[in-house]
Amino acid sequence: MKMKSLSFTLIGIILLAMLITSCSGLGGVKTTPTVEEPTATAVPLKEITLCTAEEPKTLFYYGEQSKGAELVFDAIYDGPFDWVNYLAEPVIIEKVPSLGDGSASYVSGAVNASDLVVDVDGNIGPLAEGVKLFPSGCQAMDCAITWDGVTPIQMDRLTLVYTLKQGVQWSDDETVKAADSQYAYLVAAGLENSRYEEIVDEIVTYEAIDDRNVKVTTLPGLITSDYTQFFFSPLPQHALSSYTSGDLETVDAAAKLPLGWGPFKITAWNAGTGITLEKNEFYFRSAEGYPALDKINVKFLKTGRALNDLIAQDGCDVIDDSLIKAGASSEINTLQNDRAVRVETLPGENWEVLLLGINPASYDDGYYPYGSDRPDLFSDVAVRNAIRQCTDHEAIAGQQVLIGNGHPFVYFPYDVQNGSATNVFDTYDPTAANTALDAAGWKDYDANPATPRVAYGVSNVPDGTVFSLNLYTTTSSENAQIAQGIQTSLANCGIQIKTVATPAAELYAKGPEGVLFGRKFDLALISWKIGDTLPCALFESEEIPSEDNYWIGVNDGGGNVTGYQNAAFDAFCTSARYGSTDQAAALNAQLEAAKLLDQETPFLSLFFDAKTFIVDSKLCFPDERNSEKYPYSSLEYWDFRDTCN
C-alpha cells in the first residue's frame, strides 16, 4: 500500500510540473514587456544663404538708406504698404485711406495772408498775392485760382485716418500700436537733413487717437492721391524712447539689431561677414504658414568673383544683383543652361533713352535759321516718328546680354497696359520711314542711302540743309555700341549720325555750359534712373532749363532738356502729381500723359537694364513681379519645391 501511495505521489508531482511549464508558455505567468519609444525624425530647417555685395551702414529705418538696408528691411518689416503695378496695397494697415468711406477727407477752413499753404505745384509757402492755389472744394487744375491778396478765402486741409490691423506684433511680442507710428513721426521730425523733411513740413498734426488709429492733418491746399506717404512706419517706442533722435542713428537697438514685425528677425550681425535672419514666431501671418523659410543667412561678399565659385565655395542659394557685373555675361549665358540654378531677370532702374533736341536753348530769344541757330530739325512730329520707325530697337536691345525690358512703354519699367499699347512707329520699318521723310520734304535726290537727305520745302528749315545729326553720349563702351546701332539704323533712311563721346562731367554739367542742361545737342543717348515714381515731370514745359529759371527748371531740377512742350501733357502730369485724390485716377492721368509722349516722340525709349539674380532652381519666388522691390518684397513666400510653378 505504501508503494502505491508513493507512485501516485510521484505521478502528481510530475503532472504538476508539466502543468506549471505549460501555463508558463501560455502566459499564465504575467510579465511586463519593455516598450521602446520611436525616435522622432528631426524636421530639417529650411535655410538659405543669400549673397550680396551690399552691407548696410546702418539699419536705422529713418537713417541713411542703402540697397543692403532695404533688403534687410524687407525681411524684418512687412509694408506698411507694398507697391504693385504702380498702385499701393496695404499690408499692416486695414486699407489705404479713401474719400469714399471717410477715412480721408478735405475739411474747409479760413486762411489768411502769411499763413502757410501748399500751392498747385506742391510748394509750401506763405499765402500772398499771386499764389496759385486750390480754393475750398476745388481738387483739379481747372478750378484753381490765383489769389488777389484781398478776397477772403477758404482752403481745404487733408485729414487721413490710418487703422492698424489687429495682431501685428513686434518681434519681442509687444503689440505694434498707433503710438509707435506717432513716435516714428516725432523721431523723423527731429532729424536734420532727413529725406522726410518735405513730408514733415506738410503735416500740421500727427496723433495716435487710440491703440490702432493714427490721424494726420496737412497744411491747407495740398491735393494728392498718394495717401501712403503721410503714414510713418512705426518704431518700437517701448524699446527706443530713452534715446534721442540723433542717438538712434548709431545705437544697436535701432541701428544694428532693430525690432520689426515682418516675417524674419535679426539674430546676429557680424560686421564684414553677414547678417542672420530667423523666422519671427510673432509674425502676424504665421498662422497662414509664413514665412516658409526658417532662416536666411545674408552673406557679404566682394565683387569680381566667378559666379560658379559663389555657388560652389560660398554656398550661395541666391546671388544678389550687386554681385553680378556686366563682365559676367559669359558666365550668365552658361548658367542659363544649368538646371541646378535659375537666372531671374527683371527691369532695372536705368532707362536707356535717346533724347531728341527739339528746342535748343538758342531758340529762347527767337529762331533765326540763317544765323547761328541750328535748323529746326525736330518740330515736325512726322519727322520724329520717322526717326523712331527707322531705328531697329530689337537689334539694339539684342546687343545687350541681359535687359530687363526691351520694349518699354515710354518710361514705364513694367507693362501697366498688359500689352495693349500699340504704336505703328514702334515697328522697325525703314521703307515707311523713308516715305514719311520724303513727304516731309527731306529728299534723297541721289537715291543713295549712304548719303544724307537734303531739305527741300521743309517747314522752318532752309532748303539745302543736310540731314546730319550729332549724337552725344558718354565715353562708355556700352553706349558706344548702342550709338553705333543707332547710326547704322538711321543710315538706312538717309540720316547721317556723328557720335560725339563726351565725358560725363561735361555732358551733365549745369547750363548754360553743359551739353544736356544747356540744351546744346541734336541727339543725346543717356541713362536715367527710374523708380516706382513715374517721372512725367521730366517733360513738363516749366522744367525746360533756361536762363530765366537759372537752368534748373521751376520745381523739379530742369529735366526737360529736349525742350518738348505740350499743354495737354502738362495738365495730365500736374493732375497726376498734385491734382488727383484717387491713386487709380492719378495713375490714369500718368497713362494719358505717357500716351501723348508715345504719339509725339520727343525721345526714343530703348530699354531698361537688367536686375539679375542667380537662384537655386528649387527655391521658388511668387509670380507677381511688377514691383521695384521684387523679389525681396515677397520674402515670406520664398520656399523650396520640386518645381517652381
**What is the rounded CA–CA span in Å between residue 161 and residue 216?**
6
What's the CATH number where 329 sits? 3.40.190.10
**Does residue 331 lie within any of the structural domains?**
yes
pLDDT on residue 199:
96
User: How many CB atoms are located within 10 Å of the residue 149 CB?
Assistant: 11
| Position 289 pLDDT exceeds 90 | yes
Query: Does 238 map to a domain?
Result: no
Count of beta carbons in the 10 Å neighbourhood of residue 85: 15
d(CA 447, CA 434): 11
- Helix, strand, coil % in the chain, rounded to nearest 5: 30, 20, 50
Give dist(CA 332, CA 309) in Å, integer: 13
Mean pLDDT confidence for 363-386: 93
Average pLDDT for residues 307-320, to the nearest whole number? Answer: 96
Read off the CATH number of the domain in which 441 is found. 3.10.105.10
CA distance to 2, 148, 215, 553, per residue, from 117 (Å): 134, 15, 20, 22
- CA angle 582-633-323, nearest 5°? 130
- How confident is residue 428, by pLDDT bands cut at 50, 70 and 90? very high
Report the candidate in 266, 261, 254, 257 with the shortest Cα–Cα distance to residue 295.
266
Residue 389 confidence (pLDDT): 96
Is 572 part of a structural domain of the chain? Answer: no
Flag whether pLDDT at 197 surpasses 50.
yes
In a domain, 181, yes or no: no
Which residue did the predictor score with more confidence, 119 or 450?
A: 119
List the single range of 155-159, 228-232, 271-275, 640-644 with lowest mean pLDDT.
Answer: 640-644
Q: What is the largest CA-CA distance in the chain?
A: 162
* 108 and 127 both lie in a single domain: yes
Domain identity same for 318 and 413: no
Q: Are residues 367 and 286 located together in one domain of the fold? A: no
Shared-domain flag, residues 361 and 488: yes
Element (H, E) at 252: helix 252-255
The answer to whether residue 151 sits within a structural domain is: yes
Give the phi and the psi of residue 142 in degrees, each rounded to 5: -70, -10
Which phi and psi (to 5°) does residue 24 adopt? -60, -40
Please compute the mean of the pLDDT values over residues 439-461 and round it to a whole number.
92
User: Measuring CA to CA, which residue among 616, 618, 625, 515 is closest to residue 83?
Assistant: 625
pLDDT tens track for 541-586: 999 999 999 999 998 899 999 999 999 999 999 889 887 888 899 9
* 482 occurs within a structural domain: yes
HEC string for 434-448:
HHHHHHCCEECCCCC
pLDDT over threshold 80, residue 625: no
Lowest mean pLDDT among 123-127, 145-149, 323-327, 466-470: 323-327
Domain boundaries, position 631: 47-78+250-340+617-640
Mean pLDDT throughout 465-493? 96
**334 and 470 housed in the same domain:** no
Half-sphere exposure of 29 (CA within 13 A, CB side): 7
Among 89, 221, 231, 154, residue whose Cα is nearest residue 578: 221
Question: Is 542 contained in some domain?
Answer: no
What confidence tier does 94 reach under pLDDT thresholds 50, 70, 90? very high
The pLDDT score that the predictor gives to residue 578 is 84
Task: Give the model confidence (pLDDT) of 245-261 as tens digits.
Answer: 889 999 999 999 999 99
The one-letter amino acid code at 64 reads: E
pLDDT at 222: 95
The sign of the torsion formed by the CA atoms of 268, 273, 279, 283 equals: positive
Could you tell me which residues come within 8 angstroms of residue 190 by beta carbon, excluding any fewer than 6 positions away? 244, 245, 246
In a domain, 630, yes or no: yes
**What's the total number of domains in the chain?**
3
User: What is the dihedral sign for C-alpha 471, 472, 477, 479?
Assistant: negative
Same domain, 501 and 605: yes
Q: Which residues pair with 343 in a beta bridge?
A: 614
Number of neighbouring beta carbons within 10 Å of residue 239: 16
Amino acid at 40: A
Q: What percent of the chain has pLDDT over 90?
A: 74
Query: Is residue 38 scored above 70 in pLDDT?
Result: no
* 65 and 141 fall within a common domain: no
93, with CB counted inside 10 A (0-12, 13-18, 19+), is: buried
| Residues of the chain above pLDDT 70, percent | 91
- The verdict on 324 and 468 lying in the same domain is no
390 and 514 together in one domain = yes
CA nearest to 230, candidates 214, 242, 241 = 214
51-84 pLDDT tens trace: 999 999 999 999 988 999 999 999 999 999 998 8
Average pLDDT over residues 442-469: 93
| pLDDT for the residue 4 | 37
Residues 6+ apart with CB under 8 A from 574: 120, 121, 141, 540
Please list, in sequence order, all residues whose beta carbon lies within 8 angstroms of the beta carbon of residue 132, skipping any fewer than 6 positions away: 119, 120, 121, 144, 145, 146, 147
Q: Is the pLDDT of residue 275 over 50?
A: yes
| Residue 366 shares a structural domain with residue 503 | yes
How far is Cα 170 from Cα 92, in angstroms, rounded to an integer? 12
Q: Which amino acid type is present at position 174? A: E
Q: Mark whether 158 and 67 lie in a shared domain.
A: no
Q: Are residues 301 and 423 in the same domain?
A: no
